[in-house]
Chain A
Amino acid sequence: MAQILQYLANGLVFSSIIILGSIGLSLVYSIADFANFAHGDTMTLGAYGALVAFGVFGGLGGTVLGLPIGFFIALAVGMALAAVVAVLTHILVYKPLDTDSIGLLITSIGVAFVYRAVLQASFGTDFLQYDIRRSGPIPVLLDTLDVAVTQRDVAIIVSAAVLVVALHLLLQRTTLGRKMRATADNPDLARVSGIRTDRVILVMWVVGSALAAAGGVFLALYSQLDPRIGFNILLVVFAAVILGGIGSVYGAMLGGLLIGMLHELTPLLGDIGLPISNAYAPAVAFVIMVAVLLVRPRGIAGDMT
């Protein structure tokens, strides 16, 4: 039982990361209308941006949730960097293209390679880490529930929750959010209604990439940082988006939660005697993704925006 609780706790952390990644992917899928294979590398980009910024601001005093204040500044820098790069990519690469969604999809693979090449050339392929001391599990939880959760895990979950709630408020409570929802729902109708959809698309890139970058930073904080982390997790993020229903932000959140949980619950299959090891966690997510595509291509959350 404690083992299952432990898996669920791990799942919550991993889900937080997947959710941050899947929101942006889903936004691009619905508003720019293509499967963005560069999204994973946008996550990596944000993580490296934060790494560099942490080198500058890491020394700032004070801690929040066991992480230095400097880390949160670095996180913001990483998010801003990813947003700027994504907007530039949109303006320089995607926008001038006269092609269909398949052409954009193929182009995004090229974009992903360019991002990764730059990171690999600047930082090498070695595993890197944020220079923050790891602390042990929180004693209270370990004693009462027998679950090992570190302060760092809690920080990731709480930060992700804050970002998700902020996005929710943006979408539901502001005019900009209403414009974004309208554009995602029906771009032509939005345009004739007087919404400047090209600006909304820019905002969408900013929001999606900044959240992706946050996901990348937390992924690097959770495990390690190398130029491939983003691309390696991209398919799991796709699985979450498809499970939730492409184009639905709330579906992406739900899909991210489920896929993240299932990913971390995979060891359970081995525990009950099936010959499926931990290494198959992504494979389980991919198989679920294909099954969803076949049975319910609109995803579990359907058309909710």
Chain B
Amino acid sequence: MSTLDVGGYSPREKGVAGLLGALAALLLLAVITGFLAPAYLLYLVGLSAMYMLLSMGLNVQWGYGGMINFSVAAFFGLGAYGTALLTASGSPISGGVSPIVALFGGLGLAAVLAVIIGYPTLKLRDDYLAIASLGLAEVVRIFILNESQWTAGSAGLTGIPLFFSDWPVLGDLTYPYVFNVGGTSLFYMSQSVVTSALNVVLVTVIVAAVYLFLRRIHQSPWGRVLRTIRTDEDLAETLGKNTFAFKMQAFVIGSLIMALAGVFYSHLVLFVSPQDLQPITTFYVWVAVILGGTGSDRGAMLGGFTIVAIQQGTRFMTDTGALPIGAAPLRLMLVGLLIIFIVRLRPEGILPPERELIWPDSLGGGRNE
């Protein structure tokens, strides 16, 4: 046996897993006792997964490549607006396009914006990149807010169809949907539960695909170059790597993942407005990434979960009237304090990257001895 037990789980990982398990059990209990509507729980799961996606996207840029991108909200918003403008009945441009096609519309918009923002800013020093990307994200928001002939402006876009609305079987379900086994109906599900469940399935597939893709590229030579750039860009340059090209590729990949989250958000909430592009969205994702652990995709997942817990928890706590403070300032306060305390106490995050950096074969080799 090797002394370096990289295959096992650290106490902290077990702790996090236990905490999440306990929370999941608590939420299930709340559903069973009727305290929480099942459709709402599924909605929360979808929302957490969406924040996971956003965090994984930022992780490619900041975690792998060390780029301080403060325009997360813009890419998220373009994904959301891209699909909404193509599919929504309330769209001032076209509407009625199939969500599957519109998905690529949203991604295309984000890719173009990523190149437009990335080209001038990725050459800049870290802190300048932060300021410049936040400024350019605000330009995108101001554009969407004011060009109402194309974007419906501050009113936002309504009438977005569900992602599965025009699929062969899933689009034609009748509600309440009855499960039949051998002629006897076992149980039935309301429309809201079925659509929420389908959304969860959709986002699970997306998150799993993105996770596997990221793990693959992170461990590839491409990922190694990117990590070198993060540690010492001059060194990578000296080794003959075109660092700008690598950073640009990471920037576009990360932005596409954020846009994917935006597309999903559109079909989850069925409404988008310029409010979704506020800088606060960007900073939520930043908190998720630095809390989970910069460069760690498992950490990004934990972070995404935490953000939804903060958003919904503050709403729940103030709804009960237990606190003398509104939900919005409480949320802002929690996010602010989280940022300060993470940087102070655990700058590497709760689940910093460990095993992610080790090629799986080398683990297996150790076990066979």
Which residues of A are at the interface with B, using a C-beta cutoff of 8 A? 34-35, 93, 96-97, 99, 101-103, 105-107, 109-114, 116-118, 120-121, 125, 231, 235, 238-239, 242, 277, 279-280, 282-283, 286-287, 289-290, 293-294, 297
Contact = CB atoms under 8 A, between A and B. Distances in A.
Interface string B116-151: 000011011111101110111011001101100000
Q: Sorted from nearest, which 5 A-B pairs have the closest CB atoms?
A: A110-B339, A113-B336, A286-B135, A117-B333, A114-B336
A293 B146 CA distance: 27
Interface stretch (B36-44, B211-219, B323-331): B323-331
A235 B146 contact: no
Nearest to B119: A294
Contact of B127 (A34, A96, A110, A239): A34
B337 A99 contact: no
B210 interface: no
Interface string B93-121: 00000000000000000000000000011
A97 B344 contact: yes
Contact of A107 (B120, B123, B283, B340): B340
B236 interface: no
A110 B146 CA distance: 29
A109 B138 contact: no
22 contacts: A34-B127, A35-B130, A97-B343, A102-B126, A110-B335, A110-B338, A111-B336, A114-B332, A117-B329, A117-B333, A120-B328, A120-B329, A121-B326, A235-B134, A235-B135, A235-B138, A282-B138, A283-B142, A283-B143, A286-B135, A293-B124, A294-B123
Given A113-B283, A290-B136, A279 B335 contact: no
Contact of B332 (A97, A120, A287): A120
A294 B340 contact: no
B335 A35 contact: no
Nearest to B290: A106
Contacts of A283: 138-139, 142-143
B126 A114 contact: no
B286 interface: yes
B68 interface: yes
Nearest to B337: A114
Contacts of A113: 283, 332-333, 335-336, 339
A280 B330 contact: no
B347 interface: yes
Contacts, number: 121
A34 B68 CA distance: 14
Contacts of B145: 279
Interface of B: 68, 120-121, 123-128, 130-132, 134-136, 138-139, 142-143, 145-146, 279, 283, 286, 290, 325-326, 328-330, 332-333, 335-340, 343-344, 347
A111 B340 CA distance: 7
Contacts of A242: 128, 131
A63 to B, nearest CB: 36
B343 to A, nearest CB: 5
A88 to B, nearest CB: 13
B344 A96 contact: yes
B146 A290 contact: no
Contacts of B347: 99, 103
Given A277-B146, A280-B146, A297 B125 contact: yes
B359 to A, nearest CB: 29
Most buried by B among A105, A106, A279: A106
A282 B337 CA distance: 29
A33 B134 CA distance: 19
Given A282-B138, A287-B139, A116 B332 contact: yes
Nearest to B324: A121
Given A97-B343, A282-B142, 19 more contacts: A35-B127, A35-B130, A101-B127, A103-B347, A106-B339, A107-B340, A107-B344, A109-B286, A109-B339, A110-B335, A110-B337, A113-B333, A114-B336, A114-B337, A117-B333, A121-B329, A242-B128, A280-B146, A293-B124
Contacts of A107: 339-340, 343-344
Nearest to A290: B132
A290 B120 contact: yes
Nearest to A35: B127
Contacts of A231: 279
Nearest to B132: A290
Which residue, of B126, B325, B329, B347, has the highest number of chain A Cβ atoms within 10 A?
Answer: B329
A158 to B, nearest CB: 31
B325 A279 contact: no
B131 A289 contact: yes
A239 B135 contact: yes
Contact of B283 (A109, A118, A286, A293): A109
A235 B336 CA distance: 19
Contact of A290 (B121, B286, B340): B121
B146 A35 contact: no
Contacts of B336: 109-114, 116-117
B45 to A, nearest CB: 27
A93 B329 contact: no
Nearest to A285: B135
Contacts of B344: 93, 96-97, 107
B138 A286 contact: yes
Contacts of A287: 135, 139
A101 B129 CA distance: 13
A302 to B, nearest CB: 16
Given A102-B68, A116-B332, A118-B333, A293 B128 contact: yes
B343 A103 contact: yes
A290 B135 contact: yes
Given A120-B329, A279-B145, A290-B120, A238 B135 contact: yes
Nearest to A235: B135
Q: Chain A CB within 10 Å — which of B135, B138, B326 has the most?
A: B135
B142 A279 contact: yes
